[in-house]
Structures are given as C-alpha cells and as structure tokens.
Structure 1
Amino acid sequence: MNHNTLTRAIRSVLTGTVGIGITLTSIIGHAEDAPKLEKITVTGSSIKGVAAQSTSPITIVRTDELAKQGVTTAEQALGLISANQSSAVAATTVGSSGGVGSAADLRGLGSNKTLVLLNGRRVANSPFNTAAVNLNTLPLSLVERIEVLKDGASAIYGTDAIGGVINFITKKQYQGAGVSVEALAPKGSSGDTQQYNVFGGYGSLEDQGFNVYGAVNYSKKDAVLARERETSRRGGVLPELGVNRTSGASFPANIAGIGNPYASSGCGDSTKNTASGKSCRYNSQADIGVVPEEETFSFLGRGTLKLSDNFNAIAEYMHSESTLTNIIAPDVVAGNGDDYYIYNNSPYYPGNGITPALSGVTGQPLSLNLRSQAGNRISESEQKSDRVLLALEGTAADWDINTGISYAKSTGDENLISGYINNQKLRDRLADGTLNPFGASADANVWNSLAVSGTSQSAEFESTTFDITASRAIYTLPAGDVGFAIGGSVRRDKWSQSQNPTVNSFVESTGVDPTSAPSTGSRNLKAVFTEFQIPIFKSLSAQIAARYDDYNDFGSTFNPKIGLRWQPAKQVMVRGSYSTGFRAPSLYEMHSSNYKTYTAASYNDPALCPGGVVAANGVAVRDCGQQFYRKTGGNDQLQAEESKTFTFGIVYEPIRNLVFSADYFNIQVENQVGVVGESAIFADPLKYADLYVRNGDGSLNYINQTLQNLGDTKTSGIDLGVQWRSAMTKYGRLGLSIDGTYINSYKFQTEKNGEWYNAVGQYNANFGGVITRWKHNANINWNYDAWSLNLQQSFFKGYLDQNAGDQNHRVSNYTLYNLSGTYTGFKHTELTFGIRNVLDTKPPASNVVDNFQMAYDPRYSDIMGRTYFGRVTYKF
C-alpha cells in the first residue's frame, strides 16, 4: 500500500465513503507512512486519533447514505448493524405501557447493556425504565454519522457499556440552509410515512470566529391494523401453526360456569366470535393495530464561539418529542368473572324475554365474562427528551482539553385516549338493568357513557453531569509518542414515577395499582479514569485504560481494559482486547412500585385447568385460556451486573481497496437483572411454584415477576466484514460492503448456579426471544457522475419457533431486498427514489405467543411489505 492509497483509505474511513451506508473502520497501514491527518476523538478512547488505528472494531454509519435507502429512524438504522439483535422495537409497545419504546441491543445482552451517546456524552434514558435510551427520541435526520463500538468500554465510559457503545454524532458546524421532504407509501393500505426537515447555519469559525446552526424535523407514520395485512388478519386463530389464542371475555358475554345464551346460534353477529362448546370465544388479536402510529418532533441547535486560537466555547441544545399511539381490542371488563353480575330483575336476564333462556340459569345472580362495546382501546405513550450542553474544547500547554456540563431530562406520559371503561359504572349499569351484556341495549349510548380518558401514569428522569478530560503525548519512545489521558466526572441522577388514581381506580385494564404511592429514586456518582496509548514497536501498540466509579447507593467498582494492535505487514493488522465491565441497577429497577398487569399471552391455570382441561373447583371461563395478572416492579436489594469481554480480530487488505475483517468476541455477564418469563412460569409450574399467588378460593391472583438478580450469560461469535471499491472508470465506480455476525454460542441461566439454556437458533421462553445464528447486511452500489444506485440485502437466519403448544415449527430464513437511486444533476437539488422490500416478502410464519401480534414476530421481521419512497432535498 503506497502513501496515496493509505491516505485515501483513512480519509474514506473518516468520511464514511467506503461502501454504502455501513463503513467498517478496518483500513490498515502505518500512520507515519501517510501525510499528517487531523486527529479526532474516536468512540472508545479519550485520546484523539484515527479510527483506523483503534484496537477495537468500530462500524461507522453515514446517515446521508441511509437516507438514500429510505431509512428514516434510528431503529431502522441500527437494524442494519449485524451485531444489534434488538428485542425492543416500536411494534412491541402494542399492548404494553411504561416501556422504553425502541432500543438498541448489541450482542443480544439486553438494551440496558448498550450505552448510547450523543456527541460522546450521555443522553437521558427512558423515564419509564431508566436503563436504556428510547431511540425514537434521537432524530436520525439531525445526525451526521453513527459510530458503533462493538467492544466492552466500561473502562472509558463507566456503566452500561458491556455490549458496546453507539455514538450519534451531529455536525460540528454548518453554513447555508436547506429543506428536505420525504414520503414512504406501502403497497398495502395504511402505514404511510411523511418526514420534513429544515436546517440552516451561519458563520465561519475561521473568518468570523463563530458558527451557529439549527435543524428542525417532523415525521409521522400511520398505524397498521391487523386486518390490513394478510399475515396478521386472522389474529390468533392459526390452525396450521397450532395456535388458537382467543379470549373468553366476549360479547355476547359468557356466564361463568354455565355458558353463553348465544353459543348455539353463532355467538352474535361478529365474525371474530366462535362457539366453543357452550361458550363463545373472541379473536381479540384480529382486532388490534399491529404497528403503532408514530409521530416525532425534534430540534437541534448548536453554537460555537472561537475564544482564541486555542479554545472554542460550545453551546448545544436538543429537544425531541415522540408519541406512539397504540390500538388494541376493546376493554376486558370482566376480570376473572367473579364480580360482574346481572340480576334476574334485568330485562336482559336470560329467559326474561329479550335474551334466550339457558340451561342452568335459575334466577340466581350470574357472573359474567364480558367484552366492552365502546370500541377499541386507544392509548398514547408520549416521551420528551431535552439536553443542554455547555462545553469548552481546545489546547493548553500541548494538552487537549475537553470539559463541559450537561443537563439531560426525559419525561413520559401514558395516556388513555378512548375505549377504556369505568368498571364501577359498568357494575352499576348491569345492576340497574340498563346495560345488555348479550346484545344491543335500549340506550344505544350506554357503553359510551362509561368511557374514561386521561393520563394513567407519568415519569421523569434527570441527569446532570460535569466532566473533564485532558490528553497529550507525555513521552517519546523509539516507536513513537506515548498518548496519555486523564479525566473525571460527577453526576447526579434523579427519577420519579407516579400514577393517576382518578383514572386507574376506574379502569382495571391499565394494570396500575391505583393505591400505589409515587416512586422516587436518586443517586450521586463520582468517577476518575485514565488511558495510555503506547507504541511498543513500530508494528505493535497498546491501549491501557482504567476507570474507578463510586456510587453513593451502590458502592464502587474498578474496571480496566487492555488492547493490542499489531501490524506485521502493510496488508495485515491484528487487534485484540480484554476488559471488565459493569452495569449498576437502574433507579427504576431499584425503586419502582410493584403493580399488577395482564400477561401478554393467554394461558391455562396449571392447577385448575391443567392442559386445558377443567379440574375440580376450576371454572373454564376463569381458569382456561386467560390473560392472568402478573405482578411486576422494582427491588431495592438488586446488585450490579458484571462482565468480562475478550476480543480478537484480523484485518487483511490483499489488494488496493479490498478489505476483509474478522473479529471474535467472547462476553460473560454475571448477576443479570431480569424477570422469569411468563411463558416459562406457566410451562414449569413446579419449578416456579413460589411465583404463583392464589386467592382464598384457590383461583390464581397473579404470578410474581418482580425484578431479581438471575444467573449468568455467556456469548461468543465472529463479526465478518468485506469492503471493496473499484477504480473510477468511464462507466462509473462499483462498491460492495458486507457486515455480518455469526453467533457461535449464547447460553444463560435463569437463576444462580442454575441450568444453562441455549438461545441461539431457537426461541427460548426463559429468554423471551431468540438469538439468530447468522445475520448480515450487504450493499452493492454504483456511482457515475450525478447518478448513484444502491441494492441492499438484509438476511436473518431462521430458527426453531417458540412452539408453546409442543409444536415442531421452524421459522424460515428472512431475506429482504431494497433498491434506490439518487440524482444530483439539478442545481442545489438532490432527488432519491426507491423501493424497500422489492420482492414484497412477507414475515416468516411464527407461532410466537409472547407478543400481541400473532402469526409473525415483529421483533425480527417487518410487516409493512413493499414500500415506495421518495426524498427531495434542496439547499439554498
């Protein structure tokens, strides 16, 4: 590799022009062979350098290239990173509340073990779980690039950086102005997306001594209902997959222990009802929105003032708002069927002339299992995030200084919009005979008169941080300068969460205890850290880092890291690292109130309805195929999670502009915080007998899913990458990039010193998901003059399905192709058009029952189908 080749290679890494969308920072060569390049702060180090010289693998994603592929959200962008195996996407918020929203999950270790930064500093975590950043609050259009460090980094950043670090980096300065408009339209009905972005900046640091710029973004994505996609329209009745997930809370109502007066005549006029013996079953999963409506607004402002030739002052402010609107089946207003009664004085009592008579009805009060007729439940999860940063950057006495104070705040509200029922009013209307639980009431407005709306719960998380880092070369060895960094930080975190009793006391299906007091928590953190970069020989260098953290509520921890980079030849580079890491229990995990909510799926009570057969003292409509209560919440006795990480990689450039990379990783996490999955609890009632809490009559009150320290997790695998770019010819230039991850092993324990379970290539109920054996993203691009074309392939290897009913189904491989083209020949204007999911590939069939969606798993596939998109950018 000659000097000019190396220079171009490193510059391409720093600008993200190798390949399309994803750039592997694997270019090799001796820095001293190239002309002097400006050094920058690279994710994973406190010492300025070039990404190509990192001892750890770093992937750089250029957002301008992502825009050309129709990628509009941070969730979609990180889905292109093969090391990311996220189990928290926008679709998983359907049927749940108080979650993070959408989150990154490097190595599949959990979103709380992936550290997310904005310009190298922390942003506020989601207010509802305080352990992960909601990606919906990070506007992709305001970001210049994303750096993904696929290595443990607690020695640099402290808590959370076990699986890796994702650093969203905005522009440092901008001159000019522009506007962009983008639209995405699926072939199927609904799911349209519109996005608008306005940006501008003024001033030159060099000539005027200042620069200010700002950007505003607004986007909206419409919801998709189950009936609007072929995959989901049948809801929970999927005989070919062995799935029959229906609800005993139906309309017309079922009478506990007796049956339904309309079972023999078809269970009313709804096609979602079916007769099952003497009762009716409601296909609730066919009556939901499988994709929520998403609406975001964001603003980023940054000002840089040149104080002197050596120092700049920086002020930065980011505000974002994210709203997810979910649609689920009408309210389940019958609970367990033990406190909603119709009396024999009601005109709607079976046999009184309106409702058919029913065997077993002898004038006694009848306990009902009932489904609301006030329409679908619509809820809104609103999260806002703000961060203010005042910083100082520059050099003094050959020291690079970076210091600042930041304040980050996130707030969240869970709002009931419509379809939720005042349970006490319902009891009253049943008792006074004005509401017909089996058909139309005389008062057509009676159901709507029961409606309740308002905020169910709110949360707030605040974090104030002061940090300072100083770095410089402190000594010169024969092989080069020794880089040194030292720094420290102090941080104050504060969290609170409260519920609204005036709403939750009336609406039982919120799953929020209306008597619970507000939850609060706070902590102070102090940390010091240091780092050395040592050139041992011309071909061998080392990174040594260490960090000491002291929490006032948790204790202290010390975490070192050592990395080596060896280049025996110009075409070959070998790198490796060993580090320890930790994650302190979040404030939510330690201090959140315990409360009850419904299970995500329906189950049989193992004591009163084993195997779906009613036992003595059992009641079918109460104990069989039901969504039971589960108790969740925090535990102030939690201990920290700890980790050990080892990586080893090789980068090979056999010819100019062709680079191969392979990086092995091995991670062990101890003392993991989590809950035993609901599927696992019902699958093994003997093992988890202590997690079943019963009422006095023996019926199930709830299962206990409060947080606890579980066992360990061990995972290992290899990241593989290929980068190639042809020489420029009269026909243009071709490029190819492949980013793939092979998981060799992923094993975990659900309890201390317990049995080891496997999650690779098979759905595991204890894990609550699956780790795919192989995942990759590939791009082929062509550039010529003002034209560029891109073909992208994403692949997710299939796996053994959940098979909760002892089926033997296997989820097939999942491959998507996206095609896009961009033209820049018009003055000041860039046009992009493309098709996502060109072949209109449907999600692979799955019998998973841990989500509200049925027939497929929204965490590992996309139900949108073929989607056409266009983007216009005009710069003034």
Structure 2
Amino acid sequence: MAQSLRLMFSSGVALGLGVAALPAMAQEQPEQPAMQRVEVTGSSIKRIAAEGALPVTTVTAEAIRASGVTSMADLVQRMSTVQGSTGESASVGGQTFGFSGISIHNVGETRTLVLLNGKRLAQFGGQTLTGFAAGFDLNSIPLSAIDRVELLTDGASALYGADAIAGVVNFITKRDRTDADITVGYSHPKDGARERRFSLTKGFGSLDEDGWNVMLTFGHDERTKLTSGSRSFANTGERTFSANGKQYRIQQFSASPIPANVLNDRGELISPALRTSGSCPTKTFRVTQPYTIDGENFVDDYCGYDFVKDLEIFPERKRDSLMLSGTTKAFGQELYADVLLSQTKQSSRIAPVPGQVSIDAGTALHNQYLVPLGITGDTVAFYRLFDLGQRTSNDIAQFASAVFGSRGSFAGWDYDASYNFSKSKVRGDISGYPGALAVSNLTSSGLLDPFVGPGQQSAAAQQAISATAYNGYWDGGVSELNSVALTGSRSLMQLAGGAMMLGVGVNFNREEFSSKPSLFAQGALADPVAGTLCGGAAGLECDQRFGDAASSLPYTAKRNSKGVFAELVMPVIKNLELGAAARYDHYSDFGSALTGKASFKWSPTTNFLVRGSVGNGFHAPTVPQVNAALQSFGVTSENYTCSPELQQVAAANGALCRPGSAQYDQLAGGNQTLKPEKSRQATLGFRYEPFRALSLGADIWTVAIRDTFGQLSEQVVFANPLQFPNSWGSQVDIATGRNYLAFKADNQNLGKSYATGIDWDITGRYRTPWGALTSQLNISQMLREKGQLEQNGEYFSAIANFAELGTVTFRNRGTWRNTLKTGNFSTTLSANFKSGYRDQETLVDVLDAGGNVTGQEEVRYKVKSFATFDLQTVWTPNATWSVTAGVLNLADKEPPFVPSTSGANRGQQFGYDDRYYDARGRTAYINASYRF
C-alpha cells in the first residue's frame, strides 16, 4: 500500500487525458521487486520515482494506444491542462509551415519547454521574427517510439533554464526491449481528412543479459485534404444567425472578386458587374458600406468574393520518422546514443490570388467598362486572378537530433554527461502566385481583361496568365542547437526522514537561426518566373508577389549561453521533505539571470499528501525577436474601413487609406533593447485516497510574468490610431504604385500578465458483474487571468472572453473517462468538454422578418459550451495481437458557431474557430498491432 501511494503521489494519478496507468493500489499485485532510482521530470536527482513532490502527469504508451489519437499534436490537444496551442489547421492562409505546438494553461507555447528523453531540442525552423512558433514542432516526435509522456505543470526554470515558465513536457522513448511491434491503422472522417498509418518497432539485445540494446522505430502516416464545402458549418462566408431576439447576417469576404471592383471618381468602391447586370456574379455577394469623411457621405457598393468556399480547412499531410536508440555497458557505465530523423510534408490550398491593377483613363478597358459608369479618371481595379487556380503552399519540415552520452555511477555520484545536436529545417514552396508587375503589364497591354468572369479570357490571355505563375521555393529557415551538459546527484548525509540528496549540473548551449527567404520573397527579381535579377546596368524594376508587399530580408543570428544549477532534497523528518534549487544563466547577447525554487512535501498519513512550490523564472527572447531587421510581415487579421482618425494617420505618414473594408499591410522587426521576461510562480496541492476504490487530488497554480513579449494588438491600435503614432508606417503597392498605410507590429515588452487556476482529478473504481469499471474525471479550471497590451496599460482577461488579447482561455476544460474491462475487452466511453465564452465584438447586419438589412449593430455573441463523446474498444485476444477500434465525436457534433474572424494564430476558416474546435467530425478508426 505504501509503495502504491508513493506511485500515485508522484504521477498525479491520471491527469490530462485521463488515460495514464491507474495507481497500483487499485489492483491486486504480487510482491514487487525493489524499485530502481530514476530521474523524474522536474528534478535533476536520481531517486525512486514515487518520492517526487511536483505535479507530474504521466501518460503511458498503452494509454496512448487505447485513446485513438494518431499524432502527438492530437494527444496534447486532449489534455485538460493544455490550452492555447497551435494546430495544423492554422496553416490555412497562414505561413505556419504546419507547426503544431503545446501550451500549458494557455501561458504560451514559447514558455512551455519540450524535452526528448530529458534533453533540449532545437526550436522550429519556421519561427517568425515576432516569436510565433518559437517552440518545438510536435510533428517531429514519432508516436510509435514513445514509452510515456511526462507533463510537469509547474514552472521549472531553476532546473531547465529559459522556456520553462509554464511547465515542461518530456517525451520518453522506448528502451531495452527485444520484442517487435507492427501496427497499421486507418481513420475515416466523412468526405476527407482520412488517415492511413504504419509503424514498426524492434529491439535487439538485452542490456542485462547481453550488455547492449538497440531500439529501432519507423513510422509513416498520410492524411487527405478536407475542403470547406464538405462541412455545412464552414462552406460559406455569408452566414445568418440569431441572438438577442434578433436575426443577423455576417459576411466574410474579399473586396477583390472576379470580375473586378473599381474605385469611382469619388473614391467609392463599386462593382461594374453589379451596376450593369443588377446582381453579383458567382461566388460573390453584395456588400454595402456607408461612411462619412469630412462631413461628406459615401457608399461603397460592390461584390465581395466568398473566398471561404475555396478553402481546404484541413491540410493534406505526409509524415515519416525514424528513431534509433542504442545503449551499451562499458567499464561499469552506460554509453548511449539517440538519433531522431523526421520529415513532415504538408499541402494547403486557399482561394486564387487577389490584388490590384491600375486602369488608366483613355485605355481600351477604361473606355469599354468604366466610362459608361461615369468614371473619367485613372482608377484601380480590385481583381482576383481566378484563372491561375488556387494558391498552394507545399511545406516541408525536417528535424534531426543526435544525442551521445554516458551515464552511471562514479565516485558516489549518479551522473549523466551528454552532447546534443538538433536541427530544424523548414522549406516552403508556393504555386498560384504571379508577380505584381507581370500582372500589371498584362493589364496595361490590354491582354488581361479584369472585367470578365472565370474562364472568359482569350486564349492568348490565358496562356500569358499561366506564364506569370511562379512555382517554387518561397521562404524557410534553419534553427540549430548544440549543447553539452553534465548533471550529477548523490546522497550527502542522513536526516531524520532519510538521506539528504544533492543534484548539480552545468550546460553550454549554442543557438543559431537563419531566415532564408527566396529572391522573390526579398523583392530582388525583375522576372520571378525566369529568375532575372532586378537593378543592375539595365535598371530593371523589382517585382513582388501580386496581392501583398513582400520584401523579407535574410539574416543569421547566433547566441551562446551557459548555465549552472544546484538542487537539494531534504527529508527533515519522516513525513516532511523540503527542496531547494538555484540556477545561474549567462547569455552572450543580453546578460545574466538568477532563478530559484523552493518546494515541500508533507505526508501526515499514508493516504494523504500535501505538496507545494514557489520560485521565479526567466525567459529569453528568441534570436529573431532580437536581431531581425524591420520588414514586411503579412497583413492584418481583420478588415478595417478608413475612419477620419485613420485618414489623419495616413496623411501624417504620406500614405493612403485602403479603399472599402480591407486588410492592411504589416511591418515587423527585431528589437535589440528587448528585455527578458521574468516570472514568479507557485503551486499548492494535495493527494488523498480515503479508501481503496477512490483517489482524488487538486493542484492550484499561479504564474506572474513581467516584461511580456508581444506586439500591440491591431484591434487596439486601429480603434485608437492617434494614440499610437509609432505603430504606423507605409508600403508601396508595386502593381499600382500607390503608397498605402501599414501597421507596424514590432516586438515590445508589453507589461505584466497573471494567471491562476486549479487542476482537479478524481478516480473511482468499482467491480461490476460485467467487469472492473474505472471512472476518471479531470478538470482544469481557470480562476484568474489578466494581461497588459502596453506598459502601464489597462489589464484585459481572456477567460471566457475573446476580445483584446486575441485568444480564449476556457474557464473549464476537462475529460470524463469510463473504462469497463471484461475478459479480453476494454471498452471506454469518454466525454470531452469545454465551457462557453463571449466572442469578440463584431459588426453585423440586422435583418427584418423578410431577410432585408435594416441597419448594423456591434454584437458580442455568446459561444456555447461544447462537448463530444468518444467510444473505443481494445481487444487483446493474446499476447501477440491487439486491435483497437472506435469512434471519435460519436454524435458528430458540429463546432459551435463563431462570428468573429480575427485572433492570434488563426487560419482563414469561417463560421467556427479552428483553434479550438476540430472540423473533422465523427471519425471511425481502427488500429491493429502484432507483437513478436
């Protein structure tokens, strides 16, 4: 019983997924052999795992196999303590290169440290200069190689250094096995996103009997695309909904359709096709926007393009991974090596490219289409080059890691010495994009007609359009980490409660990041298709990508760091253990930091434990956040109309407002005065088992961070443009020569943030006439969260509130899992739930009973709570075969309607929020494993 209690207390029972191995006390166990000392996540000291005092969640390989998840990204998304992580669907319209991260308690992906077998890994090679994706890409970890996942929901910067403010996730791979495992699987959602997978694991040699062991794991999986048209909740940008006793309409669109919209002589955006035919063309709908400038009334009346119809809301993907681990005994020590190679290929497609072209007065196009509408001067057409086909991003993310080391005992010390190299390389290819000058030349020559519909260009024009298409490398990056580390632990002296333990360590790291935009992305080509450089003796004009001002700059930046730490564990009396840790880090580019942690564990009885910790943390900015030059950085997430204040800001910058409702270009860059984030965090929890069939526990945690990294919110700046004079710049549109206002989203230390919550779990067991029933409930509850968007500014909260912070923190998130074991079958019914929230204030049309627009209102829609049910059965007829079959989202529950469209790390999907809800719907799956 005492041993079982220690096991329960160390693992936190079955937190997160609710699928970890049950505490040993729930079962009749034969006498156990003596437990070996191991290193547990959250401590540098080798000790019996059951003695740990920090909240560590353990998810085993068997539990992962039974859960039905097919990737590490899916696994962490199901953990109740994980919120705010980026998923693969964010690549739809966003340059994420397929990145999937993990954020504990929504404190941040960049503040959550990911380890592989306790070793650091290189950050994602596709990270941006603002810090997005500056974490580890979970797609690089092969699910089939994992023995267990340990998740520490307590800041551990004193042991691990920067990035561990929110917590630590340690993926531990299989070792010292001689059996083989072949697994095949298939997942079947409706109409797309179907997966096939295969994995092989084989061990050779026994470490105890042969003195060596080699483990080899290979995994391959493929997924098909899922189009927006396959889901009724995601298939259009024009939606009606009810709220507040009224009927509303919201339109998500682009002002660049086919045929084109134009500006009239008053600067109003109109549709020639609408004016001449009385209706909007296919894939568009009518948009009417009245506004006032300097007391004069204007009306934009045009056709908005429904780009939502063209999206693939779940990307096509292929992944391959190879994990090789070797261990041998030599001179009484263990020499080991771990090598991981992985590659993820992903393709995502969105609507054909939009952009602007100039239409000069007196040209054939002007005379034919615009003069009859009363347009007499030069103007600009807002056009979509539909005949070029969908824009496609083909991304390849490669990861390589090699660790070589020695561990064992020497002179009374348990030690681990290692060298670690890891590298993340990302390449993004594009197709369906032309150069802006190439399109402008086609229009001015009269060959391209932007006022005809899809497929109505002349044969010569179609051939010329196809010749402008750029297909090839666009952008990418490489991130490398070289690290040398030495840790050791030993017993110092006997105290009343046991041996005092000391752990020490030292590490040396070298980080390097290189941004590698193509010459096209740099704006350094006169002819992107031919690869002709601009400038030179001929003075050729530089072209850029049609539709956006792309002029990324290549750069390489390096950083050296070193750290030293010490940890003490002191069992001062029989039932009370105290711990302390301290760490010193020095960075070559911005200085030093000292962090520390104190902890305790008190066990007044054999079935009750209280534990807690307090410490401070430190998070260094990424190399790009410090060193990148100011450059183009995409566009704003929302459309904005030109208010009088925005017009004033544009004039002050010698620029123009964008016509109609439009996205604005963004600028961003590094900041060499950026200070590191500093944190204070604490936890307090208990574990209690009143009797054999019931165990429960809770941990309350809090994190306070100052000098947080970030950018001023575009929503805040556009709402008060005159208050932020340093947040503006300008960008010249190459196709039209017009200098438009641009939003500057540069890196800053924004202020402070605070977060507090409770992680609950309860496990009950009951033996029924049909078998053993286990019920596990895990809930992560947020009590407080608030943050500033500027130094000394107002505090905002994201708890049940999608507004200023650009994200949502669910007040309650959890899983209720019920498993019945009967003979060779284990059947589980799970409920996964998230509480509701208030959506961002959104301007919508008000409809009367006949569906006619009567006005507009700002509405804050209440998004409903959301729950899905999963059913799965594991059949194990013998020690050789295992078959898992099940259905995820059993009732085929659709994501709740969400009218807003903006938000950090969000794709172009509309009608639901792809960050929080899965569009795949009901998914049947089967996995079969053969062991020999």
Amino acid at match of 2:231: R
Q: Identify the match of residue 481 of structure 1 among 457, 480, 499.
A: 499
1:322 to 320, 333, 344: 344
2:818 aligned residue (773, 780, 799) = 780
* CA displacement at 1:17 relative to structure 2: 12
Letter in 2 for 1:758: S
1:873 corresponds in structure 2 to 929
Task: Indicate yes or no: 2:264 matched with 1:257.
Answer: yes
Offset of 1:700 from its aligned partner? Answer: 4.2
Aligned to 1:598: 635
The one-letter code of the counterpart of 1:497 is S
Name 2:534's counterpart in structure 1: none
Match for 1:378 among 385, 392, 405? 392
* Residue aligned with 1:590, SS: helix
1:385-784 alignment runs, 5 A limit: 385-416=399-430, 418-439=431-452, 440-443=456-459, 444-502=462-520, 505=523, 506-508=543-545, 513-514=550-551, 516-596=552-632, 597-607=634-644, 622-694=658-730, 700-726=740-766, 731-765=770-804, 767-784=805-822
Equivalent residue, structure 2, for 1:849: 901
Q: Give the whole-Å Cα distance in 2 for the aligned partners of 1:220 and 1:174.
A: 28
Shift of 1:813: 0.2
1:290 equivalent to 2:313? Answer yes
Q: Deviations over 1:452-506 (max 9, x none)?
A: 1111112111111111111111101122101111111111111111211235534
Whole-Å Cα distance in 2 between the matches of residues 748 and 845 of structure 1?
A: 27
| Distance in 2 separating the partners of 1:80 and 1:64 | 16
2:254 aligned partner? 247
| Corresponding letter in the other structure for 1:271 | K
Structure 1 equivalent of residue 104 of structure 2:
106
Distance 1:495 1:585 in 2: 13
1:554 Cα offset (Å) = 1.6
Match in the other structure for 1:614: none
CA contact 1:16–1:62 (8 Å) conserved in 2: no
Secondary structure at the counterpart of residue 141 of structure 1: helix
- Whether the 8 Å CA contact 2:16–2:78 is kept in 1: the answer is no
Deviates more, 1:800-809 or 1:681-690: 681-690
Name the CA distance, whole Å, in 1 between partners of 2:745 and 2:597: 35
In structure 2, C-alpha distance between the alignment counterparts of 1:565 and 1:709, rounded to whole Å: 36
Q: 2:920 aligns with which of 853, 864, 871?
A: 864
User: Partner residue of 1:165?
Assistant: 168
**For the residues of structure 2 that align with 1:211 and 1:428, how far apart are their CA atoms?**
65
CA offset digits 1:656-710 (Å, max 9, x no partner): 1421111111110010011122222223324334313357999742001011111
Secondary structure at the residue paired with 1:502?
coil
Alpha-carbon distance in 2 for matches of 1:3, 1:578: 27
Give, in whole Å, the separation in 1 of the partners of 2:420 and 2:731: 50
Distance 2:647 2:379 in 1: 25
Separation in 2 of the partners of 1:794 and 1:842? 14
Q: Does 1:202 align with 2:220?
A: no
CA distance in 2, matches of 1:207, 1:695: 69
| Cα deviation 1:134-162 (Å, max 9, x = unaligned) | 11222222211110001010011000100
CA distance in structure 2 between the aligned counterparts of 1:583 and 1:293, rounded to whole angstroms: 35
Question: In 2, are the aligned partners of 1:106 and 1:164 still within 8 Å (CA)?
Answer: yes
SS of aligned partner of 1:544 = strand
Contact 1:10/1:27, CA 8 A, preserved across alignment: no
Matches of 1:649 and 1:726, distance apart in 2: 26
Q: Which amino acid aligns with 2:438?
A: K
Q: Distance in 2 between matches of 1:149 and 1:5?
A: 20
Deviation at 1:632, TM superposition (A): 2.0
Q: Give 1:63 deviation, angstroms.
A: 3.3
Amino acid at match of 1:521: A
RMSD: 2.8
Q: Residue type of the partner of 1:460? A: V
Q: 1:609 to 1:522 in 2, by over 3 A?
A: closer
Q: Equivalent residue for 1:306? A: 329
Counterpart CA distance in 2 for 1:136 and 1:394 is 32
The one-letter amino acid paired with 1:73 is S
Which stretches in structure 1 are left out of the alignment for 5+ residues?
A: 612-616
Secondary structure of 1:457's match? strand
In the aligned structure 1, how far is the partner of 2:404 from the partner of 2:112?
Answer: 25
Find the counterpart in structure 2 of residue 142 from structure 1: 145
Paired residue for 1:216, among 209, 215, 218?
A: 218
Note closer, same or farther for the CA distance 1:326–1:758 as it changes in structure 2 (3 Å cut): same
Distance 1:753 1:700 in 2: 31
Any conservation in 2 of the 1:340–1:369 contact (CA below 8 Å)? no
1:235-287 C-alpha deviation (Å, 9 max, x unpaired): 25446565222221111011222633211325664233436464221112232
Q: Structure 1 pair 111/99, CA: closer, same or farther in 2 (3 Å)?
A: farther
- In 2, the alpha carbon distance for the partners of 1:410 and 1:452 equals 26
What is the distance in 2 between the residues matched to 1:711 and 1:607?
30
Cα pair 1:725 1:733 within 8 Å, conserved: yes
Give the structure-1-normalised TM-score.
0.92
The answer to whether the Cα contact below 8 Å between 2:559 and 2:589 also exists between their aligned partners in 1 is: yes
Give the aligned residue type for 2:915.
R
Change in CA separation of 1:165 and 1:332 when aligned onto 2, cut-off 3 Å: same
For residue 281 of structure 1, the aligned residue among 282, 299, 304 is 304
Tell me the number of residue pairs that the alignment of Structure 1 and Structure 2 aligns: 849
Alpha carbons of 1:50 and 1:389: their partners in 2 closer, same or farther (altered >3 Å)? same
CA contact (8 A) 1:60 1:147 kept: yes
Matches of 2:832 and 2:411, distance apart in 1: 50
Q: By how many angstroms is 1:229 displaced?
A: 0.5
Larger deviation: 72-81 or 814-823? Answer: 72-81
Deviates more, 1:100-109 or 1:248-257: 100-109
Deviations 1:709-740 (A, max 9, x none): 1110001111101123345x763211122221
SS of match in other structure, 2:717 = helix
Instruction: Check whether the contact 2:476–2:516 (CA below 8 A) recurs between aligned residues.
Output: yes
1:402-422 per-position Cα deviation (integer Å, ceiling 9, x unaligned)? 111010111111210x21122
Q: Pick from 206, 220, 227: which aligns with 1:225?
A: 227
The match for 2:134 among 99, 106, 131 is 131
Secondary structure at the aligned position of 1:623 is classed as: coil
Change (3 A) 1:99 1:751: farther
| Post-superposition offset of 1:432 | 1.1
Query: Which residue is equivalent to 1:97?
Result: 95
- Number of the residue aligned with 1:795: 833
Deviation (angstroms), 1:827: 6.2
Deviates most, 731-740 or 696-705? 696-705
Change in Cα spacing, 1:751 to 1:421, as seen in structure 2 (3 Å) is same
Select between 376-385 and 252-261 the one with higher mean Cα deviation: 252-261
1:495 to 1:730, Cα distance in 2 relative to 1, 3 A: same
Contact 1:82 1:776 in 2 (8 A): yes
Q: CA deviation at 1:450?
A: 1.8
Residue 116 of structure 1 corresponds to which residue in structure 2?
A: 114
Identity %: 27
What amino acid does structure 2 have at the position aligned with 1:778? Answer: W
Amino acid at match of 2:52: S
Does the C-alpha gap of structure 1 residues 198 and 118 become closer, same or farther in structure 2, counting only changes over 3 Å?
same
Counterpart residue identity of residue 860, structure 1: Y
